[in-house]
Structure 1
Amino acid sequence: MNLKNQMRSVLQWENPKEYQLFYKFIDRGDELKNASKLILQPGQGCIFTYEGKIEGVFEEEGLYDLETANKPFFTTLKKFMNAFESEHKTGIWFYRTSEMLNIRWGTRIPITYTDPVYGFPVQLRAYGNYSLRISNAKEFFVNIMAGQLDYFVDQLQEIFLSRITQPISSYLANAKFSYAEIDSHIETIAAEAQVKTVAIFQKLGFELTDFRIEGSSFDPETNKRIGEISDVQADVKSANIAGVDFAELQKLKAMRDAAKNEGMAGASMGMFAGMEMGKTMQQSNAASHTPSNDVRSKLKDLKALFEDDLISESEYQTKKQQLLDLL
C-alpha cells in the first residue's frame, strides 16, 4: 500500500487563484477518506456533498479536527468519510466568502431607449466596475455552480449583464434624461440600477455590494443625428441675432458659400450676398423704433456675425456706423 495514502491528510484550499469563487478539493488515492483535519482560511467556507446532495455548509474559519468531530457539521462529515467506498460519492467545495472588489464590466449589447427631448431611439453603451460577495453559498451552488469543479468571477459576466441591463433601460425610460444629461447623472443611474437588482441577485446567492458606471458612449448614428440638430439650432440662433428669419439666413449662407467656391467670378456674388444681408438687416431695423439698449445688443450681435465670418469687414463697419448713428 502506498505509504502516503496510509498517512492522515489535511483538507485545505491552498493558493486560491485571483477572482476564483469556488474550488472542488480533488486528490488521488484515499486522502479524502483519511483526512483528519480541515482548515478554513479567513474569507473561506466549504460545502460538503454526499450522493449528489448538500449535507453541510460551513463558513467559520479555523482548524478542525475531524477525528474528534467537535462541531455538528464535522460530526456528519466524519461519519460519511468513514463509511463511503468511492471518493466519487462525496465532495468538498471550498468557496470564497470575502468580497470581490472592482470587477470590470461593459455592455456588449447597447441599451436602447427613446430620447425624451429629441424623440428618436438612441443606443447607449456603458462600462464600469462592480463588487460582490457570496451571501448564500447553498443558493449560489445550486443556481449557478451546478456541480462544476471550480468557478471564476468572469463566468458571472453574462448573468450579471443580463440582470443589470434591464433596470438601467427601464430607469432611463422613466427618468427622462436626454442625450446631453446622461454624463451628469451617471452616479444616480448606477445607484438606481443597484437598488432595483438587489432582490434578483439575492435569489442567485450573491450580493452586489457596489456598482459603478465610469463612462458611457452613444452609437455613431445617434451622434450624427444630434450633430445635425445642433447645427440647425446654431443656425437658428444666428438668424435671430442677425434679425432675419431662418430661411433667409440659409439663402444668404448658400450664396456666400457659392461665392467662395467660384473664385473671381464669385467675388461679385459674395458682395451681392453681403449687400443682401445688409439690406435685410436694415429693413428689419427700420421696421421698428430702436432704443439705445437695443442698439448696444445689436452691436454685439453684429460683431458676433463678423467674427463668425458671416459678413465681411466692410459690411461690418458699414452696419456698425448705421447702428451708432441711432444712438
Structure 2
Amino acid sequence: MGIFDFVKKQFVDVIQWTEEGHGVLAYRYPMMDMEIQYGAQLTVRDSQSVLFVNEGQIADSFGPGLHTLNTKNLPLLTNLQHWDKLFESPFKSDVIFFSHRLQLDRKWGTPNPITLRDPEFGMVRLRAFGIYSYRLSDTALFYKEVCGTQGVYTVEELDGQLRNVMIAELTQLFASSKLPFIDMAANQGQLAQALHAQMTPVFARYGLTLDNLAVENISLPEELQAVLDKRISMNMVGDLNRYTQYQVADAIPLAAQNEGGMAGVGAGMGAGLVMAQNMAQAMAQPANAATPTATQDEIITTLEKLHTLVSKGVLTQAEFDAKKAELLGQIK
C-alpha cells in the first residue's frame, strides 16, 4: 500500500450513538472502509450497551460510560486478532449499539376471531386486543437470535413475531381457562396476569424482558354480539306485566303534551296492558283460574284529569307523581 493510499484511509477516533428517532433496538455503527484508531473514545449512554463483533464472533462488551479503546479493555478482541501488548495500530471491528429503553404502548390483537367452545353458548368466536411493553435485556442473545449485524433493527420488525406468538398463547389460555365468555370481561386482569406469565419465557428466548401486558377488550364479532344483546334484553325485560306498567308510566307525561292527549295513551297503552296482563296471568295461573277484571281504563282516565290539574297549577308535580305511583300500583 502506497503512502497516498494510507493517507486516503479514514480513522475513527470517536464512536457514539445519539439514538435519533424512536423504536430502534440495535444500530451497527457505520464503519465502511474506516478503521478504529487505537485509543479512540467510545461513549455509551445510560440506556445503551455496545458489542464489538469480530468476523461474526462476539468479542467485547461495554456498558454506560466513556471508554478509551486499547488492548487492556479489548482483551477478547485482542486475543482474536493475535495482537501483542504493544499494539497501537488502527483496527477493524463491527461495533453494535443496543438500546435498553422501555418500549411502550406496543399493541397486540387478534387479526381473526378465535374459535372456542363456551360452556354456556356452545361454539363462539372471540376477539381480543391489548397493549404490552418490554425492554432489551440480553444483548448477546438478541444479537445471536434476532438482529445479527443488520444495520438497523427496529421494534416494528419484531412486533409481528411477538404478536403472533402472543395470539397462539392467548388461544391456549382461553381454552384452558374454561371461563364462559360472559365472565371473561370481569376477569381481564387475571387473564392478563396469566398471559404475562406464559409470555415471559417467550420474550426471554429473544433476550427481551416483558415489562407489562394488559388485556383491554374481549368481544364477539358483530353478528354474535347482536344475538347476545337480544338475549340480554329479554333477561332484562323479565316480568312482562311490570315492564309494560313502566312503559305506561313513562309515556303518560309525554303523551299528554301531544295532540290527542291521554286518549292516545288510553287506547294504545291500555291495549298493551291487557295483553301483558293476560300473558303474565296465563303463565302464572292454572288453566282454570279466573282472570281478574282490568281497571286500567279508569286509572288512566283519572291520571289524565290529575295531569290537567298539574298543568293548571292546582297540583304539584311531586303530588302527581305520588298519586300516579299509587294508582299504577292498583293495576293487577
Same fold (TM over 0.5): yes
Secondary structure, aligned partner of 1:194: helix
Q: How does 1:178-327 map to 2 (within 5 A)?
A: 178-234=180-236, 237-239=238-240, 278=277, 287=286, 313-314=296-297
Structure 2 residue aligned with 1:67: 70
Structure 1 residue aligned with 2:123: 120
Aligned residue type for 2:124: P
Q: How does 1:35-114 map to 2 (within 5 A)?
A: 36-56=40-60, 58-67=61-70, 69-70=72-73, 72-73=75-76, 75-76=78-79, 90-114=93-117
TM-superposed deviation, 1:194: 0.7
Decide whether aligned partners of structure 1 residues 77 and 62 sit closer, same or farther in structure 2, where only a CA change above 3 A counts.
Answer: farther
Q: Structure 1 residue 19 and structure 2 residue 20: aligned?
A: no
Paired residue total:
275
Secondary structure, aligned partner of 1:32: strand
Decide whether aligned partners of structure 1 residues 208 and 282 sit closer, same or farther in structure 2, where only a CA change above 3 A counts.
Answer: closer
Decide whether aligned partners of structure 1 residues 142 and 276 sit closer, same or farther in structure 2, where only a CA change above 3 A counts.
Answer: closer
TM-superposed deviation, 1:95: 0.7
Aligned residue type for 2:162: F
In terms of mean alpha carbon deviation, does 27-36 or 45-54 score higher? 27-36
Please give the alpha-carbon distance, in whole angstroms, between the structure 2 residues aligned to 1:317 and 1:282.
21
- Give the share of equivalent positions with the same residue, in percent: 20
In structure 1, the gaps of 5 or more residues are 243-266, 291-310
Indicate conservation of the 8 Å contact 1:13/1:94, yes or no: yes
Please give the alpha-carbon distance, in whole angstroms, between the structure 2 residues aligned to 1:8 and 1:272.
93
Aligned residue type for 1:11: I
RMSD: 4.2
TM-superposed deviation, 1:231: 3.9
Please give the alpha-carbon distance, in whole angstroms, between the structure 1 residues aligned to 2:142 and 2:212.
18
Q: Which digits, 9 at most, give the CA deviation of each residue in 1:57-98, with x for residues without a partner?
A: x14222222235345346448867x799996xx422111134
Aligned residue type for 1:53: Q
Decide whether aligned partners of structure 1 residues 74 and 121 sit closer, same or farther in structure 2, where only a CA change above 3 A counts.
Answer: same
Report the TM-score when normalising by structure 2: 0.66
Structure 2 residue aligned with 1:30: 34
Aligned residue type for 1:158: G
Structure (1/2) with the larger helix percentage: 1
TM-superposed deviation, 1:55: 2.8
Indicate conservation of the 8 Å contact 2:11/2:34, yes or no: no
Report the TM-score when normalising by structure 1: 0.67
Secondary structure, aligned partner of 1:120: strand
Q: Which digits, 9 at most, give the CA deviation of each residue in 1:7-42, with x for residues without a partner?
A: 551222233431110001113442336672322221
Decide whether aligned partners of structure 1 residues 313 and 169 sit closer, same or farther in structure 2, where only a CA change above 3 A counts.
Answer: farther
Structure 2 residue aligned with 1:305: none
TM-superposed deviation, 1:217: 3.6
Please give the alpha-carbon distance, in whole angstroms, between the structure 2 residues aligned to 1:153 and 1:133.
10
TM-superposed deviation, 1:157: 0.9
Structure 2 residue aligned with 1:173: 175
In structure 2, the gaps of 5 or more residues are 244-265, 302-325
Indicate conservation of the 8 Å contact 2:47/2:101, yes or no: yes
Q: How does 1:154-173 map to 2 (within 5 A)?
A: 154-173=156-175
